[in-house]
Chain A
Amino acid sequence: MEQIFTCTVCPFGCELHVDLSGDEPVVTGHACARGKKYGVAEATNPVRTVTSTVLIDGISELHPNLKLLPVKVDKPIPKAMMFDGMRIIKTLKVAPPVKAGDIVYKDFLIPGVNLVAGRNI
Chain B
Amino acid sequence: MDKLIVIGGGPAGLAAAASAVDAGVSPEDILLLERDDSLGGILNQCIHAGFGLHIFSEELTGPEYASRYIDRLHEREIPYVTDAMVLSLNADRELTYVSPKDGFIRLKASAVVIATGCRERTRGQIMIPGTRPAGIFTAGSAQRFVNMENKMPGKRAVILGSGDIGLIMARRLTLEGAKVECVAELMNYCGGLARNVAQCLNDFDIPLLLSHTVTDILGKSRVEGVKISQVDENRRPIPATEKIVPCDTLLLSVGLIPENELAREAGVVIDPVTGGAVVDQYNQTTAEGIFACGNALQVHDLVDNVTLEAEAAGAAAARYALSGTKTVNYVATTPGDNVRYIVPHKIDLGGSGDVKLSFRVTSTIRGCDTVIKSGSKELRRIRKRVVTPGEMESATVKISDIDAPVSVSIEERA
Using a CB–CB cutoff of 8 Å, the interface residues on chain A facing chain B are 5-6, 8, 10-13, 31, 48-53, 55, 62-68, 70, 72, 79, 82-83, 86, 100, 118-120
CA distance A82 to B177 in the complex (A): 12
Contacts of B63 in A (CB 8 A): 70, 100, 118-119
- Secondary structure call for the A interface: loop
A-contacting 9-mer, from B27-35, B145-153, B328-336, B351-359: B145-153
> Interface size class for chain B?
20 to 34
- Name the CB-closest residue of A to B302: A11
Q: Is B176 an interface residue (CB 8 A)?
A: yes
- A6–B148 contact, CB under 8 A? no
- Name the CB-closest residue of B to A119: B63
Which residue of B44, B150, B199, B391 is within 8 Å of A67 (Cβ)? B150
- Rounded to whole Å, the gap between the CB of A73 and the closest CB of chain B is 9
Name 9 interchain pairs, CB-CB below 8 A, sorted by A: A6-B202, A8-B194, A8-B195, A11-B194, A52-B47, A64-B37, A67-B148, A67-B149, A100-B67
Contacts of B44 in A (CB 8 A): 119
- Rounded to whole Å, the gap between the CB of B57 and the closest CB of chain A is 12
- A51–B47 contact, CB under 8 A? yes
- A53–B198 contact, CB under 8 A? no
- A8–B198 contact, CB under 8 A? yes
Contacts of A6 in B (CB 8 A): 194-195, 197-198, 202
- A66–B175 contact, CB under 8 A? no
- Name the CB-closest residue of B to A87: B177
Q: Is B38 an interface residue (CB 8 A)?
A: yes
- Asked, given contacts A63-B38, A70-B61, whether A119 binds B67 with beta carbons under 8 Å apart, the answer is yes
Chain B, range 379-414, C-beta contacts under 8 Å to A: 385-386, 391
Q: Is B49 an interface residue (CB 8 A)?
A: yes
- B48–A12 contact, CB under 8 A? no
- B64–A118 contact, CB under 8 A? yes
- Name the CB-closest residue of A to B45: A70
Contacts of A119 in B (CB 8 A): 44, 63-64, 67
- B61–A86 contact, CB under 8 A? no
CA distance A101 to B203 in the complex (A): 27
- Rounded to whole Å, the gap between the CB of A37 and the closest CB of chain B is 15
- Asked, given contacts A8-B195, A12-B385, whether A55 binds B64 with beta carbons under 8 Å apart, the answer is no
Contacts of B385 in A (CB 8 A): 12, 31
- A11–B150 contact, CB under 8 A? no
- A5–B37 contact, CB under 8 A? no
